[in-house]
A and B are shown apart, each in its own frame.
Chain A
Amino acid sequence: MNYKTLTEENGQNALFKRTLHRLNNKHVKKILYHICMLVFSIIMIYPVLWMVMSSFKGNTEIFTNASSLIPKEFLFENYKIGWKGFGGDTFSIFFKNSFIISTISTIGAVLSSVLIAYSFARIKFKGSRIMFSIMLMTLMLPYQIIAIPQFIIYQKMDLINTFWPLILPNFFGFPFFIFLNMQFIRGIPSDMDEAAVIDGCNRYTIFTKIILPLLKPSIVTSTIFSFYWRWEDFFAPLLFLNKPKLYTIPLALRIFADPTSVSNWSGMLAMATLSLVPVLFIFFLFQKYLVEGIATTGIKG
């Protein structure tokens, strides 16, 4: 190898390196980033897509064509078959039960939490500090601790197999929503309260005329989270409801998917998909509120 070719090679190499470097800095990096993120996105969302697409597959295709996301043909009657439910109880009953419980509970939880939050955030009264720390402690209290005594009490009151045990406790405030609304109320300048006082407002009218209208974002966030939790709640309905006519959707789905009784996988998947429709619908409508709610409290609930 003589000197000339060596330098030529070096020159070419340098040029190649320089172009590569430039590419590396801009496009290659960007493309690589998006490829990684897209692959990761697909992995993350795959189980959900799989559920939705498989709900259109035939009963045997779920097994023979297990991982595929595209059914050989779209069988919409799976939804009709699934809707029939089991033992004569259709999913219209289960959806109705879930809607009743989730809606009333949510109204109660949000209303009471907003009142309590206003008190903690704005009014200085005797014992408020102690009560606030007790409230924060209950945030960490496992539901399982109180489940047994509550069950016994409801049983003594003959309220098992009614919606009362599921709805009633929501009307006394929820630590997470109290905390969330407090954060928002603290963000409202107290000058506004003082101005309202000059205009002749008292604590009650300040709440209804000033605080409440400004609380819209945190009320929306609390409403969404509360609805989600009630809608997806499994433990409490499992404890207090054991008649199929009273089942909520999670209970019904579990029975429906029981390996000893399940023969209709596509119907079951169709109902599983339907059960998530309200959740995803609300998510896409109010995504902004959810993201902000999580960011402001720093709690995922």
Chain B
Amino acid sequence: MANFKKLNYKRETKKSKSLTRFLENDNIAGYIFISPWIIGFIAFTAIPVLASLWFSFTDYDLLTSPNFIGLDNYKKMFKDDEVYRKSLFVTFYFVFASVPLRLIFALFVAMLLTVKTKISGLYRTVFYIPSIIGGSIAIAVIWKRIFHDDGVLNDLLAMIGIKTNISYLTNEKTAIWTLIILAVWQFGSSMLIFLAGLKQIPDSYYEAAKIDGANKFQNFFKITIPMLTPIIFFNLVMQIIQGFMSFTQSFVITSGKPMNSTLFYSVYMYNRSFKFFEMGYGSAMAWVMLLIIAAFTIIVFKSSGSWVYYETKEDK
């Protein structure tokens, strides 16, 4: 370490013996700082992932030792297990309804918040609060109360003269939408990301557009959207992935009912693995989930070239 000082001056002059030592030192320092990650990655990620792959080819049930059964788990999933296919459909439905809606909402509200007023900060806070508490069990429990047949929503509707006693949570058509609404309600953090992105668009672009006689719609579709696409794209990928992993809402609010119409993939996986202890089958389901997520990531990244606009360096 003592050589560090001297070497910095010599760095560009010649490759001395001490320079290699210096490099060695940096290597060692780097690995010392990074060591927690390496240990954690091996112990808590790499080994479990490989173990999971192995279990997916077995009939492991936690009590008896695992037997290799080849692709049977995977065959069962797509051939015999109707509930599995239902859960796959439900999850896709949830993700493709909630993620675009949330992003559109976030962008729309972020645009509205670019208008500077004395209480803009207050609006921003109010819209962001659902994002930090929306995933909690407290809110899940509240959601149950709101959409119950004698709950808050029907009471509110009655006040404006619409008398219904729909039980949103036990109706096959509406149950999934209570979960989608909960997901869209948490648009606040995406909104903050868009707000930060909107601030970075140079005013000169809009000024130039004004001289060219562009209207607000043209501004939005020709300047704002193209400039924001990297952000939109990144959030789309991340939120699709997170959407696939959603668990708590379905598990607590609807428990997958009615008729499995809200049975999320990870809830079904949990039931199979930890209620019936079909660890082998559960692992196979986990791997299919991983493949779906990987496929989506690749598709979205590959297609990004055609619609994502990255600002060239000269502009910055």
Map CB proximity to B onto A165-200 as digits: 1 under 8 Å, 0 otherwise.
Answer: 000010111000010000000000000001001101
* Distance to closest chain B CB from A236 (angstroms): 11
Report whether over half of chain B's contact residues are helix, strand or loop; otherwise say mixed: helix
Map CB proximity to B onto A138-173 as digits: 1 under 8 Å, 0 otherwise.
Answer: 101111111111111101000000000000010111
Q: Which residues from 1 to 53 on chain B have a C-beta closer than 8 Å to any C-beta of chain A? A: 1, 4-5, 8, 25-27, 29-31, 33-34, 36-41, 43-45, 47-49, 51-52
Contact A239 B274 (CB under 8 A): yes
Is residue B293 within 8 Å, beta carbon to beta carbon, of the partner chain? yes
Contact A295 B37 (CB under 8 A): no
Which of B33, B37, B43 lies in contact with A135, CB distance below 8 A? B37
Contact B27 A153 (CB under 8 A): no
Stretch binding the partner chain, chosen from B211-219, B243-251, B307-315:
B243-251
Q: Using Cβ atoms and an 8 Å threshold, which residues of chain B touch A171?
A: 36, 40
Which of B51, B137, B145, B269 lies in contact with A250, CB distance below 8 A? B137
Is residue B261 within 8 Å, beta carbon to beta carbon, of the partner chain? no
* Distance to closest chain B CB from A121 (angstroms): 10
Is residue B132 within 8 Å, beta carbon to beta carbon, of the partner chain? yes
Contact B34 A276 (CB under 8 A): no
Contact A125 B31 (CB under 8 A): yes
Q: Known contacts A124-B26, A142-B289, A283-B129; is A275 also within 8 Å of B36 by CB? A: no
Q: Known contacts A153-B48, A172-B37; is A142 also within 8 Å of B293 by CB? A: yes
Q: Using Cβ atoms and an 8 Å threshold, which residues of chain A touch B192?
A: 291, 294-295
| C-alpha spacing A146/B45, complex, angstroms | 7
Contact B52 A172 (CB under 8 A): no
Which of B5, B25, B189, B196 lies in contact with A197, CB distance below 8 A? B5
Q: Using Cβ atoms and an 8 Å threshold, which residues of chain A touch B241?
A: 140, 142
Contact A47 B33 (CB under 8 A): no
Q: Using Cβ atoms and an 8 Å threshold, which residues of chain B touch A298?
A: 193, 196-197, 231, 234-235
Q: Which residues from 252 to 282 on chain B have a C-beta closer than 8 Å to any C-beta of chain A? A: 252, 266, 269-270, 273-274, 279, 282
Contact A152 B27 (CB under 8 A): no
Q: Known contacts A134-B41, A145-B48, A298-B231; is A116 also within 8 Å of B141 by CB? A: no
Contact B30 A119 (CB under 8 A): yes
Q: Known contacts A116-B36, A287-B125; is A268 also within 8 Å of B141 by CB? A: yes
Is residue A234 within 8 Å, beta carbon to beta carbon, of the partner chain? yes
Which of A116, A138, A279 lies in contact with B34, CB distance below 8 A? A116
Is residue A215 within 8 Å, beta carbon to beta carbon, of the partner chain? no
Is residue A70 within 8 Å, beta carbon to beta carbon, of the partner chain? no
Contact B48 A150 (CB under 8 A): yes
The chain B residue with its CB closest to the CB of A151 is B274
| C-alpha spacing A203/B3, complex, angstroms | 12
Contact B150 A66 (CB under 8 A): yes
Is residue A126 within 8 Å, beta carbon to beta carbon, of the partner chain? yes
Is residue A41 within 8 Å, beta carbon to beta carbon, of the partner chain? yes
Contact B150 A146 (CB under 8 A): no
Contact A37 B112 (CB under 8 A): yes
- Residue of B109, B130, B142, B282 most packed against chain A (CB within 10 A): B142
| C-alpha spacing A230/B66, complex, angstroms | 33
A-B contacts besides A140-B241, A276-B133, A298-B234, 16 pairs, CB < 8 Å: A37-B123, A47-B146, A48-B130, A50-B152, A116-B33, A116-B36, A119-B34, A142-B266, A148-B273, A149-B48, A152-B62, A172-B41, A234-B251, A254-B137, A294-B192, A295-B196
